[in-house]
Amino acid sequence: MLFRSWSPTEPVADMSCIGIDVGYDTAVVAIARRGGIDVLANEVSKRTTACMVGFTDKERKHGEAALSGITSNIKNTVTGLKAVIGKKYHSEEIQNEITKVAYNMTESLGNVTIPVSLKGEENVMTPEKCMSMMLKTMAKIAEADQSAPVHDCVLSVPAYFTQAERHAMLDAAKIVGLNVLRLMHDTTAAALSYGIYKTDLPADKATNVVFLDMGASDTTVSIVSFVKGKLSVLSTACDRRLGGRDFNELLVDHFRNEWLEKHKIDAYTNAKAMFRLRTAADKQKKVLSANANAPISVECFMNDIDVKGVMERDHFATMCEPLFEKLQKVIQRAFDGCGLPMEEIASVEVLGGSVRIPAVQEMLAKFFGRECSKTLNFDECVAKGSALQCAMLSPAFKVRDFSVNDVSMYPIALSWTSSSGAAEGGGEGMEVDGDEKADAPAPKTGSNTVVFAKFNTVPNTKMLTFYRKDTFTLTAAYSDEAMADQPSGFPQRINEYTISNIPPGPLGDDGTPGPAKIKVKLRLDIHGCLELESAVAIEEELVDEEPPPDRKSVV
């Protein structure tokens, strides 16, 4: 048995552990039970739920209810929540998203706000508040199944999420009273769902597996090493703008141009027409997965004009060549990060809805020189892995021993200033004492010291030693290398910590106190978020000890 309840006498309500996978288009919830993991169906008996929230003159609508009325309520329906949460308004990501959604986004103190009309009144929503509604919708599916409240959960997030995006997800869960035991990377959750059932893994030799997740909006490739009872993520590479909707946009642009020339109507000038075109293009893409050609038609598209067209699968594959090149680059970056040759890969596991595209599978088979494995359920494995992790972290279940070692994608550097404001970078006055994982000493870059390197294990702790007389400020920020991997508009600074009330240090030869020895403990927590755990002044005292008396030998 995979796991059993820790105490059969505990009420069911205390033993509910769920995993929620929030994607761009859909969300999935899975629950841990005494017999295993189950993916739950929503109120319309679907195992995937539309990831959107709508606002009307009468009520708020979430999930499938919002989807059913989106055509007539398009400007008051917030979609693609994962793409807007935790980002600044002027970031490249938000400015790109604005062109693809029908609802409005505005700026407030640099952050994104979403004006909507609810019950006849204008309301301003934040992405965090909208995400909280979606999370509560998924939790209610589990509550309806259990007939009891659900509190503990594990949320899946993309590996490329920054500190701001992670904190925003935690804030969204907190709004609706969900206790997040862990933010888990999508591909790591899939790897757990894959590996925990592999009872034949050798203990003395690693089995390396590639997990490729191509969803609606992004792509992640992780290379994971398995041994008996343990998985370790070796490297991860992501592309925030490579997913199913990018394939859709190729069809959208093609037929927009075709109908502009033929009917003199431009879909880009009408939000509702663009939504209908994108919906039709997504349907056509799915039909092309099983057929050599597929039609597209939209009645009363614009100006009461009916439009139609046909796309050949071979022509569509040719149009997708630039996207395939981007996918190959992501895979190559993952291999560059771990240094493994292709020959040491035992399997290539694919997941995410977009890997259903035949041309994608053909490209992957050619790149890896083998057919990709489809062991996992494309849509449900992330939610199931998240629910497994929730059961492992919860005291309500005893799960088969299995260790999960994840990594952070972005290097984090420290710089520091004295109370006078003078910079004191370059590593002077600071020592990295190592960490609980016994990693190599952190390298130094420019005026900053990289404390948590790329692919640092998570969770992880570093102990830093400073010698200071006065108050000083530590600034944690992503390194220049990390910023090069992110779209423009993301803040580089993560947080500032002020260390004050520093006691006098040991007396020097001239009788004046010198700098105090300060031990600062920084930690990348289980969510991949940086926090300062403690800052302690160490007082060292020299004690003269008399030598022990000589002992005479007795013959």
Per-residue pLDDT tens over the stretch 294-347: 999 999 999 989 999 999 999 999 999 999 999 999 999 999 999 999 999 999
Asked whether the predicted pLDDT for residue 8 surpasses 60, the reply is: no
Cα–Cα distances in angstroms (integers) from residue 376 to residues 68, 385, 506, 510, 512, in the given order = 29, 11, 61, 71, 67
Q: What is the pLDDT of residue 426?
A: 37
Asked whether the predicted pLDDT for residue 15 surpasses 80, the reply is: no
Percent of the chain with pLDDT over 70: 89
Q: What is the pLDDT of residue 442?
A: 44
| Cα angle 170, 172, 173; round to 5 | 65
User: CB–CB of 415/423 below 8 Å?
Assistant: yes
Maximal C-alpha separation, the chain = 117
Asked whether the predicted pLDDT for residue 226 surpasses 80, the reply is: yes
Phi, psi of 443 (to 5 degrees): -75, 165
Dihedral class, residue 489 (left if φ above 0, else alpha if ψ from -120 to 50, else beta):
left
Measured distance CA(183)–CA(528) in Å, rounded: 8
Measured distance CA(337)–CA(411) in Å, rounded: 13
Lowest mean pLDDT among 395-404, 416-425, 534-543: 416-425
Dihedral class, residue 264 (left if φ above 0, else alpha if ψ from -120 to 50, else beta):
left
The residue written with tokens 């609508």 in the block is 61
Q: What is the pLDDT of residue 201?
A: 86
Percent of the chain with pLDDT over 90: 73
Lowest mean pLDDT among 11-20, 120-129, 169-178, 229-238: 11-20
Span 236-254, mean pLDDT? Answer: 95
Measured distance CA(136)–CA(141) in Å, rounded: 9
Lowest mean pLDDT among 122-126, 162-166, 535-539: 535-539
Span 454-459, mean pLDDT? Answer: 94
Q: What is the pLDDT of residue 12?
A: 40
User: CB–CB of 103/125 below 8 Å?
Assistant: no
Does pTM surpass 0.85? yes
Structure confidence at residue 200 as a pLDDT band (50, 70, 90): confident
Q: What is the pLDDT of residue 540?
A: 65
**236 bridge partner residues:** 222
Residues 6+ apart with CB under 8 A from 304: none
Structure confidence at residue 446 as a pLDDT band (50, 70, 90): very low
User: CB–CB of 382/417 below 8 Å?
Assistant: no
> What does DSSP assign to residue 373?
B
Q: What is the pLDDT of residue 441?
A: 44
3-state SS string for 42-94: CCCCCCCEECEEEECCCCEEECHHHHHCCCCCHHHEEECHHHHCCCECCCHHH
Span 485-503, mean pLDDT? Answer: 89
**Structure tokens of 120?**
């006849």
Lowest mean pLDDT among 115-129, 202-216, 423-437, 501-515: 423-437
| Other Cβ atoms within 10 Å of 260 Cβ, number | 13
Structure confidence at residue 552 as a pLDDT band (50, 70, 90): low
Structure confidence at residue 401 as a pLDDT band (50, 70, 90): confident
Structure confidence at residue 204 as a pLDDT band (50, 70, 90): confident
pLDDT digit string, tens, across residues 512-531: 888 888 999 999 999 999 99
Asked whether the predicted pLDDT for residue 484 surpasses 90, the reply is: no
Span 121-148, mean pLDDT? Answer: 95
pLDDT digit string, tens, across residues 417-434: 876 555 444 334 566 665
Span 207-236, mean pLDDT? Answer: 96
Q: Judging by DSSP bridges, how do beta strands 152-157 and 17-22 pair with one another?
A: parallel
Measured distance CA(92)–CA(202) in Å, rounded: 45
